[in-house]
Amino acid sequence: MIGLTDATVRFGNRTVLDRLTFEVPRGRSLAILGPNGRGKTTALRAMLGFQPLASGTRSAPPVVGYVPQYASSNQSYRVLEVVVMGRAAGLGLFGQPRPADFEAAYAALDQVGATRFAQDRFDRLSGGERQLVLLARALATGSDVLVLDEPGSALDLHNQERLLGLLGMLRRPRDRAIIFTTHDPNHALAAADDALLMMPEGGCIFGPIAETVVPEHLERLYGVPMRSIQVPGANGPPHDAILPAFAGYPAA
């Protein structure tokens, strides 16, 4: 449904993606992990057609709900207007948003818990608030493909919980393809079926979460000792969590 085949991206003489192949079919969710500067954002942008490929091919539907990593804005749009922009693909070139588009925008803001910002200026929101609004904009597209670049990076723990709950809810009917990048292996465990680990030395590990998001691979990925522990579930059975055993601190 969405992915890359043998995709190579170069910046000058540096090859950032080297014949990268992965595909996310409808009904599955993929987490992409890798060290800073390894090419995660570049892979998403290549998939969406924002980044030219030196070779290889990409596949993506015409409308994708996309949350970029950074959300700077020097224009004084209101939050509701930003979210309604997610409806643009259905409006045509000079089309004006209809009441149904505003309803969809409000519904999306409600889903991410950001209704109270609806009339605020987007450029005056905090980083985490902007992230929620951009998530709402992606949901408002109504696309069955969501591509989220570090959607939780600026969120407090409450909003991370909300994000993961929302991703879980969107994932459950198995009628969407979801791709997100993250630096938190626990977000991958919570919200993805598969993971793509972009290894520091080049090459990738791709496969189901249970085989990929494991201490052995993560230690190679980040160069940090990792531990897997079982934590009691808040409302259900215990589940695995992965913790870094940072230097100088006792292993968990």
Ligand X SMILES: Nc1ncnc2c1ncn2[C@@H]1O[C@H](COP(=O)(O)OP(=O)(O)OP(=O)(O)O)[C@@H](O)[C@H]1O
Q: Closer to ligand X at the Cβ: 38 or 162? A: 38
Q: How many CB atoms lie within 10 A of CB 98?
A: 13
Shortest Å distance, C-beta 96 to ligand X = 35
- The smaller minimum CB distance to ligand X, of residues 13 and 96, is found at 13
Query: For residue 199, what are its two tokens?
Result: 């290894």
Instruction: Mention every residue, 6+ apart, whose C-beta is less than 8 A from residue 121.
Output: 76, 77, 78, 79
Rounded distance, CA 154 to CA 195, Å? 21
Structural element, H or E, at residue 208 = strand 204-208
CA angle 44, 199, 147 (to 5 degrees): 20
Q: How far is the CB of 168 from ligand X (least distance, A)?
A: 24
Minimum gap (Å) between residue 183 Cβ and ligand X: 7
Q: Which is it for strands 145-148 and 177-181: parallel, antiparallel or unpaired?
A: parallel
Smaller CB distance to ligand X: residue 69 or 115? 69
At closest approach, how far in Å is the CB of 39 from ligand X?
4
Residue whose CB is less far from ligand X, 127 or 238:
127
Strand segments, DSSP code E, in 86-138 are none
- Residues 17-56, mask of contacts with ligand X (x by CB under 6 A): -----------------x-xxxxxxx--------------
Applying CB under 6 A, what is the total number of residues that bind ligand X? 10
Window 1 to 20, contacts with ligand X (CB under 6 A): 11, 16
Residues forming the site for ligand X (CB under 6 A):
11, 16, 34, 36-42
